[in-house]
Structure 1
Amino acid sequence: MNITLVQGDITEQRVDAIVNAANSSLMGGGGVDGAIHRRGGPEILQECRRLRASHYGEGLPTGQAVATTAGRLPARWVIHTVGPVHSTTEDRSHLLASCYRESLRVAGHLRAATVAFPAISTGIYGWPVDDGARIAIQTVRAVGASVDEVRFVLFDAPAYAAFEAAL
């Protein structure tokens, strides 16, 4: 498995699966989640509504992952995962690692060869980007996934630098 880094917009990545740093409602939101829903179009939201009505009535639990169509994105699927909110009083790193592990498990089930990840939980959820990068890289390496390429798509230069240092 190759791990690559890109600074840019995850919604523009031509990969089999894009990972969405979703909120538990699966109904879209801000940041990466909002961008994916806006660019992907209503097809993603329709599948998310079906998931909420069937398997995830109370929302997708933190650290878990589920796939939908990618709608109008240049990918085949969106893998939605709910990252933890950072806490200075409780170690939630196992939940952040689970996001990467579970997303790769879903990607394997889909037989996705290429997967693009954002820096999960490092935006509005407040996870320090250096620590988030360390957890992401360590987890992806440890999983030994069946995908050919894991691409981390990082929004800005500081996030890119943190992932480059972790790699």
Structure 2
Amino acid sequence: MDQSRTRVVEADITRLAVDAIVNAANSSLLGGGGVDGAIHRAAGPQLLEACRALCGCATGDARITPGFRLPARWVIHAVGPVWKGGEQGEADLLRSCYRRSLELAVEAGARTIAFPAISTGIYAYPKDEAARIAIAAVRSFLSGCDLLDEVVFCCFAPDSLDAHRRALYLRD
């Protein structure tokens, strides 16, 4: 992966100055805890109304809304899998979240996008494995796409930051 187009940061994703941020959403898209709740609070009540109009989202897929009060122009709501031991297709579903989010960002005209560590909170996906999947999915997408200038992996906690840094520097 072109290291100049990716970076890993420990930050609050709701404050990043990027074109699109990804929300680790639940399938209702109507808010929740963790990063989902933080994004809904920061964006304001208009985000909830926009999400209601989307009528939910399947696991492994994503939807896009305006960012409203956020610095980001768009919020891409990606529904990651709940960890069930790794034998229920979780890796494919997580990979799909990243790919669909990147596709939606490009379709919207975004040049910069920030991802949280999808599924690693209450959905209990192991952080190291989730980071490897995220980095690999982004690598694969960027290898065939020059429409994105930067992909940021925005981690809220030091253990997630470490997992993403390790995965970023792994070689295929």
* TM range, smaller chain: over 0.9
1:23-42 equivalence runs, <5 A: 23-42=26-45
Cα RMSD (Å): 1.0
Note the alpha carbon deviations across 1:26-80, whole angstroms, 9 max, x for none: 100000100000010011111111112xxxxxx2000111110111011100000
Residue 79 in 1 paired to residue 76 in 2?
yes
1:9-88 equivalence runs, <5 A: 9-52=12-55, 59-88=56-85
1:20–1:78 Cα contact (<8 Å) kept: yes
Note the alpha carbon deviations across 1:109-160, whole angstroms, 9 max, x for none: 0010000000000010000000000000000000124211000100111111
* Partner secondary structure for residue 99 of structure 1: helix
User: Which runs of no fewer than 5 residues in structure 1 stay unpaired?
Assistant: 53-58
Alpha-carbon distance in 2 for matches of 1:37, 1:77: 12
**Counterpart in 2 of 1:129?**
127
In the superposition, the TM-score normalised over structure 2's length comes to 0.91
**Counterpart in 2 of 1:98?**
96
Q: Structure 1 segments of 4 or more deviating over 3 A? A: none
Note the alpha carbon deviations across 1:60-109, whole angstroms, 9 max, x for none: 00011111011101110000010000111424100000000000000010
Alpha-carbon distance in 2 for matches of 1:101, 1:109: 12
Alpha-carbon distance in 1 for matches of 2:20, 2:89: 29
